[in-house]
């Protein structure tokens, strides 16, 4: 591993529990938090599961709000906040993936209510003090300690029913956090170890999950990988990959995980020329000539989508996307050039192998 002689590190304070019987664990943790009126949150598609948790927690529940949406639209948050105030919620319980966790964080940002998150995907959002919100067609990201959940409950049984295509894209979304952490401006030896372990865990466990989706041991290992990748996302800053995905998702309403899965190898290729030594662990992991090629081949191997055109992006939108992605840019190891980003997006739109920007 590349030695760093100077660095700073900040550990997160969330309480994390791995294991089964999540419904019982949530009730225990609510009691531990001193909560008496927990509001249970989900997307419409997860409402039955969310209601089961609410019922299992009995007197600790103040009700269910199941209107979470992708990219955390501000208008949805405002309606949810009104409901939380109406039922006098003293805690938030998010049952679901990044959309539900995002809604919980958005409410917590405005109220400072404690949060308990039960992830059902690998997004990793539950591990971070980061909130991305969409308003007027733009996604804006902020960082605040109030946004970090107090408790995370990981249960492989809850993720065993996640369809394989969603499993694959969600896993690649998590892996993207770790890849960018390797060359983050504020990286440190601990974040680098977390990133490498997270990537290694997914590369090992994801094929096993695809072969046997209800294998709880394999699912548990992927959740462990998600926790590692999410934790590193909360510790260091992200770069070009996340800027591109936030632009594509927030402006063009593309599905979050699928966008990450497609863009990852291309953004990695763009940056690898600037930091080849920092991406060496990825080349080693895949035994490939480049980190980008290894990620691209792995994504193909696990059946991830390859082209932005296949997930609903019109080719006519690429010029606008390149322009937006090069405004208010995140720090990046390779200088950002709009013409090169436009070529990158063209390759990602067509589903070509990464490179040549």
State the average pLDDT over residues 320-339.
Answer: 95
Q: How far is CA 127 from CA 69, 108, 196, 207, 241, in A?
A: 19, 14, 17, 24, 19
pLDDT exceeds cutoff 80 at 8: no
**Does 3.40.50.1970 match the CATH number of domain 21-154?**
yes
In terms of CATH, what superfamily is 164-350?
A: Dehydroquinate synthase-like - alpha domain (1.20.1090.10)
Per the DSSP assignment, residues forming a β-bridge with 115 are 92
- pLDDT bin (cut points 50, 70, 90) of residue 139 is confident
Domain borders along the chain are 21-154, 164-350
3-state secondary structure 70-106: CCCEHHHHHHHHHHHHHCCCCEEEEEECHHHHHHHHH
CA–CA dist 202, 210 (Å, integer): 12
pLDDT exceeds cutoff 70 at 1: no
Q: Is 4 exposed, middle or buried (0-12, 13-18, 19+ CB in 10 A)?
A: exposed
This prediction has a pTM of 0.90
Q: What is the pLDDT of residues 78-127, one digit of tens each?
A: 999 999 999 999 999 999 999 999 999 999 999 999 999 999 999 889 99
CA–CA dist 157, 220 (Å, integer): 8
Tokens of 193: 């170890």
- pLDDT bin (cut points 50, 70, 90) of residue 223 is very high
Q: Is 287 exposed, middle or buried (0-12, 13-18, 19+ CB in 10 A)?
A: exposed
Q: What is the pLDDT of residues 162-203, one digit of tens each?
A: 999 999 999 999 999 999 999 999 999 999 999 999 999 999
The CA-CA-CA angle for residues 62, 48, 80, to 5°, reads: 45
pLDDT exceeds cutoff 60 at 7: no
CB 242 within 8 A of CB 130: no
Of 139, 166, 28, the residue nearest 93 (C-alpha): 28
pLDDT exceeds cutoff 80 at 53: yes
Q: What's the chain's Rg over C-alpha atoms?
A: 19
């Amino acid at each position: 591993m590349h030695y760093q002689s100077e660095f700073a590190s900040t550990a997160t304070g969330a309480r994390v529990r791995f294991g089964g019987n999540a419904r019982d664990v949530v009730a225990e943790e609510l009691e531990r938090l001193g909560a008496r009126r927990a509001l249970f949150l989900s997307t419409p598609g997860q409402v039955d599961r969310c209601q089961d948790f609410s019922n299992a927690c009995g007197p600790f529940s103040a009700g269910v709000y199941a209107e979470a949406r992708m990219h955390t639209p501000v208008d949805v948050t405002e309606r949810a906040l009104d409901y939380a105030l109406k039922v006098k919620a003293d805690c938030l319980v998010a049952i679901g993936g990044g959309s539900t966790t995002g809604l919980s964080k958005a409410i917590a940002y405005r109220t400072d209510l404690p949060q308990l998150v039960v992830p059902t995907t690998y997004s990793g959002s539950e591990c971070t003090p980061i909130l991305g919100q969409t308003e007027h067609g733009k996604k804006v990201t902020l960082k605040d300690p109030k946004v970090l959940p107090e408790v995370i409950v990981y249960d492989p049984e809850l993720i065993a029913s996640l369809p394989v295509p969603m499993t694959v894209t969600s896993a690649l979304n998590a892996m993207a956090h770790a890849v960018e952490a390797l060359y983050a401006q504020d990286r440190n030896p601990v974040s680098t170890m977390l990133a490498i372990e997270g990537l290694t865990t997914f590369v090992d466990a994801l094929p096993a999950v695809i072969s046997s989706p209800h294998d709880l041991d394999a699912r548990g290992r992927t959740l462990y990988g998600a926790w590692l990748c999410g934790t590193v996302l909360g510790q260091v800053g992200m770069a070009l990959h996340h800027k591109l995905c936030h632009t594509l998702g927030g402006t063009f309403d593309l599905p979050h995980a699928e966008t990450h899965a497609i863009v990852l190898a291309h953004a990695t290729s763009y940056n690898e020329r600037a930091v080849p030594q920092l991406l060496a662990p990825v080349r080693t992991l895949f035994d490939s000539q480049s980190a980008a090629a290894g990620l691209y081949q792995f994504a193909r191997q696990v059946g991830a989508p390859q082209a932005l055109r296949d997930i609903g992006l019109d080719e006519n939108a690429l010029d606008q996307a390149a322009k937006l992605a090069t405004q208010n840019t995140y720090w990046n190891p390779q200088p950002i050039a709009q013409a090169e980003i436009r070529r990158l997006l063209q390759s990602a739109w067509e589903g070509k192998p990464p490179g040549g920007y």
